[in-house]
Chain A
Amino acid sequence: DGGITQSPKYLFRKEGQNVTLSCEQNLNHDAMYWYRQDPGQGLRLIYYSQIVNDFQKGDIAEGYSVSREKKESFPLTVTSAQKNPTAFYLCASSTKTGFGLDQPQHFGDGTRLSIL
């Protein structure tokens, strides 16, 4: 079945540590996204990528980094510069936007990151 796989489901970060969240999709989608979800707030965009080897910052990119070396993969690194990393992180993908009718984003089941 086609879908988006995020791992791990739960992750704990120590002070000063960088951690990497994995996101893999087999939907053959060009665009991929990382969101952060906090209680009582709408999803906030961290980074997005429309094509391999290219990505753009979203609204809250500070303290995060990404790479897009393969179409299927879009890992997110939460660096030690992110002072409040505790949140639910969601990865999504879609067909390339900007062409024709808008297509929905499809989501993985998230990674919950907590601070030790």
Chain B
Amino acid sequence: EDQVTQSPEALRLQEGESSSLNCSYTVSGLRGLFWYRQDPGKGPEFLFTLYSAGEEKEKERLKATLTKKESFLHITAPKPEDSATYLCAVHKMDSNYQLIWGAGTKLIIKP
């Protein structure tokens, strides 16, 4: 069964304490993997797309990496404004439209 699992469900860090969020997936052929950030009461905001194993992308304090089974979102020296829920979604090779979404990781950065 196609599945996307994010861990941990929630993560509390002190400001400046680096860590990683995980998105593991089991799909028959990956077309693309997306990371989004969602603030409370808002829609998801696009962060990154990764297409193939070994690919990495960076934006400010965030770096996303991809292997054949999982993706990591590394956050370096986070600030309180990085607090949000981070969502991962996978686009299968044989699907023109449908993304499979993880349930998200709620990240809280304490000052």
Whether B77 is near chain A, meaning CB under 8 Å from some CB there, is: no
- What is the size, in residues, of chain B's interface with A at 8 Å between Cβ atoms? 25
**Residue contact B42 to A109, C-beta cutoff 8 Å:** yes
Chain B hits for A48, CB < 8 A: 97-98
Q: Which of B4, B31, B44 contacts A107 (CB 8 A)?
A: B44
Give the number of residues in A that approach B within 8 Å (Cβ atoms). 30
Give the distance to chain A from B9, nearest Cβ to Cβ, in Å.
8
The chain A residue sitting closest to B100, CB to CB, is A42
C-alpha spacing A107/B89, complex, angstroms: 14
A65 close to B (CB within 8 Å): no
In the bound complex, what is the Cα–Cα distance between A116 and B104 (angstroms)?
A: 29
A101 touching B97 in the complex, CB below 8 Å, given contacts A41-B103, A42-B102, A42-B103: no
Q: Which residues of A contact B (CB under 8 A)?
A: 4, 6, 31, 33, 40-45, 48, 50, 56, 58-59, 90, 92, 97-98, 101-110, 112
